[in-house]
Amino acid sequence: MAWRYPWALGFFLLWGGLVLLWYFNKHRRSSFYHSMQGPLAENLFNRIRWTRTILRQRLRMAGVAFLILAASGPQIGTRVKPVERKGVDLVFAVDVSVSMNAIDVKPSRLEKAKYEIGQLVKKLKGDRVGIVVFAGSSHLYLPLTTDYEAALLFLDAIDTKMIPTQGTSLRSALSMALSVFTEENEKHKVVVLVTDGEDHEGDAVAIAKKAIKTGLVIHTIGVGTHAGSLIPIKIGDDVSKYKRDKQGSLVTSVLNESALSDVARAGNGIFIRFDNRAASYVTLLDAINAMEKKTISTHEFSEYEDRYQILAFLSLLSFVIGFIIPTRDKRQHETWRGRFV
């Protein structure tokens, strides 16, 4: 149970004061009545039915109480209403290989990617969001959903330890992302490939060319710089060493912009770079907003249902009964006939 206007409940303080005032006046009138004796009291009060008078007053006070409760907007239970959403199906394929720990982009490539994607998700309106994580293999991490709060929670939990099979397989990432789309519509499907561009298998461009035949659009986001960075190997929160090749030389990971640009062109999308500039996601958001939207689903939304009507009716009923209930004793009417006129 909830209240739409809880501040209105404060009027119960005033109502309580009125109840106390009525209570003291009732006792004062009762004392006054009992202090009178003889024919005067009989002539003045014998036509009044005191029990009904008190009942009328109590009904009026109850009517005021019900009116305050109704004005406070009580909401009880839930109701389901249809909400029409328009948007696109948007799947982020996020690279979680160890090269995404490189710090040429602060605080790291992966953290920068997560931050920018999070800012974009917060700006979406009606689009469904899904997440695929990949390294040497790929996995569906979050199915398509319009629950952006859940998407942000899942996004925040991504790290480079999620997939033990290391490497970077763009082919696997794109294939998994394509499998997320269950509908055969020719439009409204977008894959955003977020990686530093290293591809240990190839074939990503060929898959992108096949994907566009189904109406899919593939955007690519390169995370990193051309200068590159060493790849830290973390144990806990500390960097204990840096990745080396088979010859023992330190490995420098650089952004492979040309490969990602080729994939974006093949997928009828755009290439964007996430570097140390702020709000890098805006270009991608503009591209998504410019797309034709579809009615994704008629979503059922649960909320409290207003129940003030019942209390308002009880208030009206109390006032009406309190107004029409008679307080005069008709049996005593004839004893007054002709007494003054």
**Per-residue pLDDT tens digits for 255-268:** 888 889 999 999 89
Percent of the chain with pLDDT over 70: 78
CB 267 within 8 A of CB 212: yes
CATH number of 83-299: 3.40.50.410
User: Looking at 84-93, 231-240, 288-297, which range is the least confident one?
Assistant: 231-240
Mean of pLDDT values over 154-169? 85
User: Looking at 7-16, 138-147, 280-289, 322-331, which range is the least confident one?
Assistant: 322-331
Mean of pLDDT values over 106-131? 92
Strand, coil or helix: 152: helix
pLDDT classification of 169: cutoffs 50, 70, 90: confident
**Per-residue pLDDT tens digits for 64-73:** 888 888 888 8
Alpha-carbon distance 272 to 177, whole Å? 19
| Residue 141 pLDDT exceeds 90 | yes
pTM, rounded to two decimals: 0.63
Summary mean pLDDT of the chain: 80
Mean of pLDDT values over 5-25? 80
Q: DSSP letters of 4-59? A: SSGGGGGHHHHHHHHHHHHHHHHHHHHHHHHH--THHHHHHHTTB-HHHHHHHHHH
pLDDT classification of 341: cutoffs 50, 70, 90: very low
pLDDT classification of 112: cutoffs 50, 70, 90: very high
Mean of pLDDT values over 207-227? 86
Q: Where are the domains of the chain?
A: 2-73+307-336, 83-299
| Residue 39 pLDDT exceeds 90 | no
| Residue 313 pLDDT exceeds 50 | yes
User: Looking at 29-43, 195-209, 291-305, which range is the least confident one?
Assistant: 29-43
Mean of pLDDT values over 186-208? 79
Mean of pLDDT values over 117-144? 91
For the chain, give the number of residues. Answer: 341
| Residue 134 pLDDT exceeds 60 | yes
Alpha-carbon distance 74 to 302, whole Å? 16
Percent of the chain with pLDDT over 90: 20
Mean of pLDDT values over 163-179? 82
Number of Cβ within a 10 Å radius of residue 303:
12
